[in-house]
Amino acid sequence: MYGAILGDIVGSRFEFDRGDLSKDFEFITKNDHWTDDTVMTIAVAEALLEAGKDATVEEIEAACTRFMQKWGRKYPNAGYGSRFIYWLSAKDPKPYGSYGNGSAMRVSAAGWLYDSLERTREVARATANVSHNHPEGIKGAECTASVIYLARNGSSLKEIEDYVIQEFGYDLSETLDQMRARHRHDESSMDTLPKALKSFLEGESFEDVVRNAISLGGDTDTIAAIAGAMADAFFGIPEEYKKVSRKSLDIEMMEVIGKFDDKLDGIII
């Protein structure tokens, strides 16, 4: 989860085109902060831990709804979209056909917790389906979790790229420079996933991947959160950067991360 959280934290100060579409910037500053991407990443992680490894799809969806509402209500001003704010406060929340990138930015825990790609994809679909049940919203979550699973299990960048193209049909032919040239603030999965994927596939380290993502402008915190989650699984994260995220998070957030880390200790990766 650190990759998603750090991507969110570093990208937060550049959102809404507050950067200059460059990779040359101070990586971490005192002005960085976590947003709804971090809150929901932690919410989904806690939900999956609570549901258990062998939970049914229905049990996963129920847990995700419960914990997403719990964390969203605890941090109501983290930067959620208007329709998701209504979902968080609803007594009986229903999916609303969203194809936004929120389903992909919160799913990283699913890429780490399961021992098969098929199960990873099934769980990712369930985490999206509670709100972002448009086919593109589901695809974004499923693709992100799949990349994380493949990366942590030793697949090469070429193998990951081939899988993404074959299974999810994203067009990855556009270069990062071309993406920068057409930059805009677009929170759809259709726009965000190719940008995050390209940032990851062309990166040389965790930091380089996040710099790629932020240099594209627009919804930088979410692009960087998704790309950062992928990069975490492939490159790992320097301990100094993990310390930055730990210092910025609340105690309750760190308790979930601690439980998540303990769970990973029992998984062979």
Q: Could you tell me the CATH number of the domain that includes residue 171? A: 1.10.4080.10
The C-alpha atoms of residue 105 and residue 80 are separated, in whole angstroms, by 12
Residue 180: what pLDDT?
Answer: 92
Domain total of the chain: 1
- In the chain, at which residue ranges do the beta strands (DSSP E only) sit? none
Which structural domain, as residue segments, surrounds residue 68?
Answer: 2-264
Residue 37 inside a domain? The answer is yes
Residue 66 inside a domain? The answer is yes
pLDDT at 268 over 50: no
Residue 155 inside a domain? The answer is yes
Residue 266: what pLDDT?
Answer: 57
Q: pTM of this prediction? A: 0.96
Residue 210 inside a domain? The answer is yes
Interior CA angle at 110 toward 100 and 128, to 5°?
A: 30
Phi, psi of 101 (to 5 degrees): -80, 0
Average pLDDT of the segment spanning 158-171 = 98
**pLDDT-above-90 percentage for the chain:** 88
Average pLDDT of the segment spanning 106-115 = 97
Residue 269 inside a domain? The answer is no
Question: Which residues make Cβ contacts (< 8 Å) with residue 25, sequence separation at least 6?
Answer: 14, 19, 211, 214
pLDDT at 175 over 70: yes
pLDDT at 142 over 60: yes
Residue 113 inside a domain? The answer is yes
Residue 88 inside a domain? The answer is yes
Sign of the dihedral defined by the CA atoms of residues 35, 227, 220, 238, in that order: positive
- What the block records as the tokens of 206 is 């965790």
Residue 55 inside a domain? The answer is yes
Residue 112: what pLDDT?
Answer: 97
Kindly indicate the confidence band of residue 184, based on its pLDDT and cuts at 50, 70 and 90: confident
pLDDT at 19 over 80: no
Which single residue is written with the structure tokens 């994260």?
A: 237
Which single residue is written with the structure tokens 């190719």?
A: 194
Query: Which residue type does 110 have?
Result: A
pLDDT at 114 over 90: yes
Residue 269: what pLDDT?
Answer: 41
- What the block records as the tokens of 2 is 């650190």
